[in-house]
Amino acid sequence: MIVLIDADILVYQAGYAAETGVAWDEDTFAIQANLCQGIEELDAMVAGIVHATDADKALLCLSCPTPENFRRDIYPAYKEPRTDPTKRTAKPILYKSLRDHVRSKYQVREKPRMEADDVLGILATMPGALGRRIIASIDKDLLTVPGFHYNWRNGEDGVFEVTESYAALMFYTQVLTGDSTDNYPGLPGIGPKRAAKLLDCLETEHAMWDAVVSAYEKRGLTEDDALVQARCARILRAEDYDFEKKEIKLWTPPAQD
């Protein structure tokens, strides 16, 4: 069994855990970090995830190290607050050093212009060559990908399965609600409760998409507006990637059932 680990989150968590604040005087403050502590924290988290999932092997997935991201071609404001050069970034001081450590110690998977989520989604949904796989992450976006999952923040729940139907429901919910962390808005004014009401009892993806488009049109927007948000929300799966050409295939609405 292989556990596919969201190493982006481990880098952030371990990096922040290794930071401490220093007050030089009443007006001057600084942050310092201990790299050895950060490495120990990260390695301990990896070991804990492998143990909790009873995995034989771990693959750690990282986002592309450059600002290039295919979603910015679709929606230029995607994750804009994180890349605004006028603002302080949220990255820990040890961000680069811990990424280097991950690459040097573990088996790593990353792809150009993709986030770690997409690499996880592709690996998790590839036809059986890799055997049974478990996605390990605390990111709710990964719940749009069917398969076995493990959330180390709720470790007492153990490994659980996300069905195709539940993954579809989570995906279309994201298209409606957007994601403030990733800075795509979805349909303004629609929160999780209203999204759940719109999608309640719909059994097919085509019906869910029709409901989403109808909601957008009632707000004076178009199906194309909904499609932009859907392509931001879509965590890539194996079917969304051309392995021969090494090209991303953008999500398209489901055909009539």
AA letter at 5: I
Domain 2-22+31-162 fold: Rossmann fold (3.40.50)
> In Å, how far from its chain's centre is CA 41?
21
**Alpha-carbon gap, residue 113 to 47, rounded angstroms:** 29
Count of positions (residues) in the chain? 257
Locate the domains of the chain by residue range.
2-22+31-162, 164-248
3-state secondary structure of 190: coil
- The correct answer on CATH 1.10.150 for the domain covering 164-248 is yes
Distance in angstroms (rounded) separating the CA atoms of residues 94 and 194:
40
Q: What is the pLDDT of residue 30?
A: 86
C-alpha 176/C-alpha 191 separation (Å) is: 8
The token pair that represents 196 in the structure block: 């759940």
Residue 194, strand partner residues: none
Please tell me the predicted confidence (pLDDT) of residue 182.
92
Q: Residue 130: what pLDDT?
A: 73
Which residue shows structure tokens 């690499």?
119
Q: What is the pLDDT of residue 11?
A: 98
Check if the beta carbon of residue 123 is closer than 8 Å to that of residue 213. Answer: no
Question: Residue 86: what pLDDT?
Answer: 52
pTM: 0.93
Are 122 and 134 spatial neighbours (Cβ–Cβ below 8 Å)?
A: no
Q: Which helix (H) or strand (E) holds 154?
A: none
Q: Is residue 222 within 8 Å of residue 216, measured between CB atoms?
A: yes
Position 177 scores a pLDDT of 97
- CA distances 119 to 52, 110, 116, Å, are 22, 6, 5
Positions in the chain short of pLDDT 50: 88
